[in-house]
Structure formats: structure tokens, C-alpha cells
Structure 1
């Protein structure tokens, strides 16, 4: 295994981190569509209370927005290298912190009462909230879990991502192109695909020599010089 080839442990760590990011983004997107709060509004007169149900997206747009950003972070970690990966990981972790803060703010009692009151105002007239709103546990729990997982995954990426494999790994080559000898057109295409330079002479294959003791190229001129001159024909 070459030094530039990631070890199985690093590849496994990379795969688990990408899976955690995908799960975190999925939880946030799913939580945004869940019902978070229910309440009732009443109006003067013989009108029964009207139930009101609000989803996570009705209370805050952070879970869905951060969820999509988490999916984009997967592509960013796959396509970038080095310090850029650290930056992507830090942004992912910051998005998770933002989502956690938004979930906490959206589930406060006064926030829930204000949200239900806003629904009562939209109906017009003198509608009012009847009783305290009821907070469902599933939606906020999914959002909080996804946000926490996003924070952990982002921090792990910010620390470990430069060692992970990525899109550019298989295209890394030495600074000096390797020389190769292409005998057939098929060999030429294979060498180009491998990153070798078929225009360079292969090691050990020298068609001329700078060694004065090597007759090399001097053999042909010497044989011409040793050939006797032919007499010219008299016209």
C-alpha cells in the first residue's frame, strides 16, 4: 500500500461520516414536515373550538434549510481537498448549531402560543386561543437529533477530512511524468490513461550516447570516411 493510499480504517471512517451526514440531513428534512404543536381557537357565539395544527416548517424554516445544506455538505466534502474540506466541515457543524438553536427557540411555550395566536388572527374576527398549545414530541426530537448528529459529523470532518479519500485521489500523479514505451496503439492509450508520457524515452532505452568511448552514432560516419573515393569520369 502506497503512502498516498488511505488505509481501510480511514475509508471506513469516511464512509461512516458520510452516512451520518446523510442521516442527519434526512432527520431534519423529515422533522420539518412533522406536526409540532396543536391548539384550539374559539370565536364568540355558538361556534365550537377549531383545532389548529402547525408543523415544524410553520414554526421555523431552519430544519429544512439546514437539512438541504447538510446534503450539499456531503457533495462538498467529496469534491474538495485539504483546507477546503476543513472549511466545509466547520460550516456543516455551524449549521447543526443553528438548527439546535432554532428548535429550542421554536418549542418555547411563549413561541408556541404566539404561533397559534397568529393562526387565530388569520381567521379574522375575534377568534382567540383556547387553552395552552400542546407540543408534540416526535417532530422536535427528530430535529434535535438530526442537528446534534450534524454538529458531530461536521466537527469530525473539520478534524479528519484531509486524510479521507475523495474525488481527486485517483488523479494524483507524481510531479515528473513517467517515461514509457508504447509498442502498439493499444499500449499508447493505456499509458495515457495511466498518466504516463509516451513521448519520453523509457529508462534504459537510449538511441544515442554522449560517451566518447561509445562508437554509437560515430559508426556510420566512420564507415563513410573509410570508403575510398571513386574517380570521376572524364567527359
Structure 2
């Protein structure tokens, strides 16, 4: 696999991992219901309600996606380490957030009625698995970047090719071309001035002989 394709694979893993984490963060991960109450009711809890870690690190991973293209060398390897750590943090937070004690604590913070009820049922939705999968993809993107990122091209590679000797030669030729163009313009301006009838009459008024100027040029 070429260096460009490896970088594209890492970018795809990073974008997919961050996207899954952010998508899952806004969905309901668990539902706490008081079924034995006089008036049964339930409370849905999203990923952001249970843990702010997955969403925050998802946005941080998107920033790391841009850094994959803007950096190189050791700095890019550091970006790979950060992406892997983001993925580990998202995965751990996704698993820990759906534990029964954490779900009940978050539900009690949102509803005082649930805090008063003693017999509560907790139903966990599979969105936390989607967030966990996003974390795994980010770990993969970080490892690929850490191990292979040193050989990937950077954003400024195409600009560096324009600073060679050929570009310098082209730069030195520009003043000459401009000077030649200026000389041509001056010569054409002088010729047009000699052919101007008004200029010919003005020279006659000053007592000059226009034929003498033509003989000197001949």
C-alpha cells in the first residue's frame, strides 16, 4: 500500500470513529422506568446525559483528522498517540456509562421522582456499543498514524516542488522580459509621436526642420 493510501485509510478510520462517537452521544443509551408507581413513568438518558466524555473526545478526534494532513514527522506521530488515547477514553466511558449504578444516578439527577422510587427498571439500548465501536476505530487510526505516519506526504509537498532551480531561473528572467517590454513600449511611443501631425506642426512653429531629424536617423 502506498503512503497516500495509508494516510487515506487512517483519515477514514478517524472520521468514522469520531462520527460514530458523536452520533451515538445524542441517542438514548438507557431508559429508567418506575413501573410499580401509582402513575408509571420512564426517563430516557442519552449518551451526553450519562457521560460527556464520548462526545467531547469525538470532537477532539475530528480536530485530529485535520492534523493528520497538516503535520509530519514526530508531530504527526504525536497526533497518532492522541487519537489512540481518545479512542481508549471513548471506549472506556461507553462501557462505564451504562452500568446500573451510573444510570440510576444520572436518572436521579434528571428527575426527583425517580430518586424517590425504590423499585426501578433499567433498560439499556445498544447505542453505547456504537460509541464503543467508534473508540475502537480511533485506536486503529492512531496506531496506523503512529507506526506509518512518518512516511506520509504533508500538505505543503506540492509547494516545495516549485522552489527548485527551474523556478529560480524563471524568476530571474522576469525583470529582463519586463525591461524588454518597456523598451518596446517606449520605442513604439516614440514612433507614434513622430507620426503625430500635431507634433509636426509644433516643431515647425518652433523653427525646427523635421526633415533634418529624418536625415539624422537615416
Unmatched segments (≥5 aa) in structure 1: 1-7, 189-235
Query: TM (normalized to structure 2)?
Result: 0.71
Q: Secondary structure at the match of 2:169?
A: coil
Query: 2:118, 2:9 → 1: CA distance?
Result: 46
Higher relative contact order (CA 8 A, sep 6+): 2
1:77-226 matches, within 5 Å, as 77-121=68-112, 123=113, 127-128=116-117, 130-137=119-126, 139-172=127-160, 177=165, 180=169, 185=174
Deviations 1:120-156 (A, max 9, x none): 32x59x731543211111x101100000000110111
Deviations 1:88-112 (A, max 9, x none): 1101111111111111211112212
Query: 1:115, 1:103 → 2: CA distance?
Result: 14
Maintained 8 Å contact 2:91/2:132? yes
Aligned to 2:5: 12
> Aligned-pair distance for 1:75?
0.9
Q: Secondary structure at the match of 1:69?
A: helix
> Aligned-pair distance for 1:114?
2.0
Query: 1:77, 1:117 → 2: CA distance?
Result: 42
> Aligned-pair distance for 1:20?
1.1
Deviations 1:174-215 (A, max 9, x none): 998555266964998xxxxxxxxxxxxxxxxxxxxxxxxxxx
Change in Cα spacing, 1:175 to 1:49, as seen in structure 2 (3 Å) is: same
Aligned to 1:51: 42
The number of aligned residues is: 177
Query: 1:183, 1:167 → 2: CA distance?
Result: 27
Query: 1:185, 1:84 → 2: CA distance?
Result: 39
Aligned to 2:21: 28
Query: 1:187, 1:110 → 2: CA distance?
Result: 80
Query: TM (normalized to structure 1)?
Result: 0.66
Query: 1:56, 1:185 → 2: CA distance?
Result: 62
